[in-house]
Amino acid sequence: MEKEKYGYMSILEASEKIRQGMVTPVALVSECLARIAQLNPALNAFITVLSEEALKQAAVAEAEIKKGQWRGPLHGIPVAVKDFYDTTGIRTTAGFVHFKDRVPAKDAVMVEKLKAAGAILVGKTNMHELGMGTTSVISYFGSVHNPWNGAYVAGGSSGGSAAAVAAGLCYATVDTDAVGSCRLPASCCGVTGFKATYGLLSGQGILAGERTDDTILKLAHVGITTRWVTDTAILLNALADHPNPKREYKDDYRLAFASGKKYRMGVVRNFESTADVRDLFYATVEGLKESKHIFTETDVPFASAVFDIRTIDADREKINATLFKEIDLLLLPTTTDLTPTIDVAQKLGPQAVSPNNTFFANYFGLPAISIPCGMDKNNMPLGLQLVGRAGDEGAVLDAAKDFQEKLPVMHPS
């Protein structure tokens, strides 16, 4: 299949082509559905594919746009959501046997916002069962396979989403991230995984009515998976709640890309990693030092003794004044080791992809993003992580876009 026809365009580019009449929503959705039919049997990225519904909605979007009723850059764009998010009349399973026939009566808030923006939902993506793992190997619907090499894990718990975006099965997904669940698979699959400051995006409607763990609720963030940082900003514009009128770029996060700011980059010293990951990380940083930004070294409170759910709110208040006193952004590897094979992950257990470099951002509620930074010795992608102070999504996105333009562009063959 000719993947370059539409599949790896950015949302921004696809949206412009739709507005100019060079491509239609029906054509974009049709190509994504064809790629799903061709590739999903091997990847197992989707639990539910909404072929008929998606084509109907694409036709509606096409008619609206022709009438001049364009809703914005997501109008007519094929997207998917992790099968954690409730969808009206469409099963929502969380990859769990006891939820395999669970059909909600109401959309999650994030799904409502996607629909309001005119995005076309092509399906629900596979995930690690109940979000309780980082490999997406354990799911009632079977393991997710990495599109770069099917013998390897896709990461988790949002593994199906990262695999789908990497393989060009959709343009973006909405996910969750409680310990790194969006950023880890983004690193494993060579795409962009983002979570905003805690509370900016609503998690209402994630398995609504089911029992939940209060600790997880304090750590869980909504995640966004795309191929390009510019597309992440488009999704964030559509999905964000803006209770704080002082929040910079609250009306359009893409304005951050024109800021021209020079950021103080804190290159983390005390992260956990193997030599392979460490070497690639430092080689990447050396290459980025030619940019306009200022680089210095710093440490991050990774120790488990720091993380106490009883003091999490107070700790979140303190972190901006301490960790970000002398720097604007943190730089560190997303993962601690090379992506494992599915066979190895099955032996190591649910957290075979370690969250030790990502969890601190969940605990402190900080905005964070993983972008592809190169390939390891097994020809599998690795990610570079940027973490910012609470409320400063603009800086995270701006710097990540700057770096992404300097790093290699990668798509699986």
Burial class (CB in 10 A: 0-12, 13-18, 19+), 31: buried
Compute the radius of gyration of the chain from its Cα atoms. Answer: 20
By the 8 A CB rule, do 53 and 122 touch? Answer: no
In angstroms, how far is CA 228 from the centroid of its own chain?
A: 10
| Residue 264 confidence (pLDDT) | 98
Calculate what percentage of the chain has a pLDDT beyond 70.
97
Residue 38 belongs to domain spanning: 11-404
| Residue 66 confidence (pLDDT) | 97
By the 8 A CB rule, do 202 and 110 touch? Answer: yes
pLDDT digits (tens, 9 = 90+) for 224-235: 999 999 999 999
| Residue 2 lies inside a defined structural domain of this protein | no
| Residue 306 confidence (pLDDT) | 86
- Count structural domains, the chain: 1
pLDDT digits (tens, 9 = 90+) for 122-133: 999 999 999 999
Q: Give the DSSP letter string of 153-218.
A: ---SSSHHHHHHHHTTS-SEEEEEESSSTTHHHHHHHTSEEEE-STTSS--TTBSTTS---HHHHH
pLDDT digits (tens, 9 = 90+) for 160-190: 999 999 999 999 999 999 999 999 999 999 9
| Residue 409 lies inside a defined structural domain of this protein | no
Catalytic residue (one of 10, 136, 139, 157): 157
Catalytic residue (one of 10, 15, 82, 139): 82
pLDDT digits (tens, 9 = 90+) for 359-393: 999 999 999 999 999 999 999 999 999 999 999 99
- Amino acid at the residue 220: A
| Residue 209 lies inside a defined structural domain of this protein | yes
| Residue 250 confidence (pLDDT) | 66
In angstroms, how far is CA 133 from the centroid of its own chain?
A: 16
Residue 4 has pLDDT above 70, yes or no: no
6-10, 66-70, 71-75, 138-142 — which is least confidently predicted? 6-10
237/219 Cα distance (integer angstroms):
22
| Residue 412 confidence (pLDDT) | 95
By the 8 A CB rule, do 177 and 220 touch? Answer: yes
What are the structure tokens assigned to 306, written together? 């720091």
Q: pTM higher than 0.85, yes or no?
A: yes
The yes-or-no answer on residue 158 being catalytic is no
| Residue 94 confidence (pLDDT) | 99
| Residue 42 confidence (pLDDT) | 99
Share the mean pLDDT of the chain: 95
Backbone angles phi, psi at 369, to 5 degrees: -145, 145
pLDDT digits (tens, 9 = 90+) for 337-356: 999 999 999 999 999 999 99
What are the structure tokens assigned to 333, written together? 């590897």
- What stretch of H or E contains 225? strand 221-226
| Residue 3 confidence (pLDDT) | 46
| Residue 380 lies inside a defined structural domain of this protein | yes
| Residue 111 lies inside a defined structural domain of this protein | yes
Task: Provide the CATH number for the domain around residue 43.
Answer: 3.90.1300.10
Q: Is the dihedral of CA 265, 271, 275, 277 positive or negative?
A: negative
Residue 305 has pLDDT above 90, yes or no: no
What is the number of other CB atoms lying within 10 angstroms of the CB of residue 16?
14
| Residue 6 lies inside a defined structural domain of this protein | no
Catalytic residue (one of 143, 181, 354, 370): 181
| Residue 412 lies inside a defined structural domain of this protein | no
Residue 245 has pLDDT above 70, yes or no: no
| Residue 31 lies inside a defined structural domain of this protein | yes
By the 8 A CB rule, do 331 and 267 touch? Answer: yes
| Residue 246 confidence (pLDDT) | 55
25-39, 151-165, 201-215 — which is least confidently predicted? 201-215
| Residue 247 confidence (pLDDT) | 66
Q: Where are the beta strands (DSSP E) in 227-271?
A: 264-268
| Residue 244 confidence (pLDDT) | 58
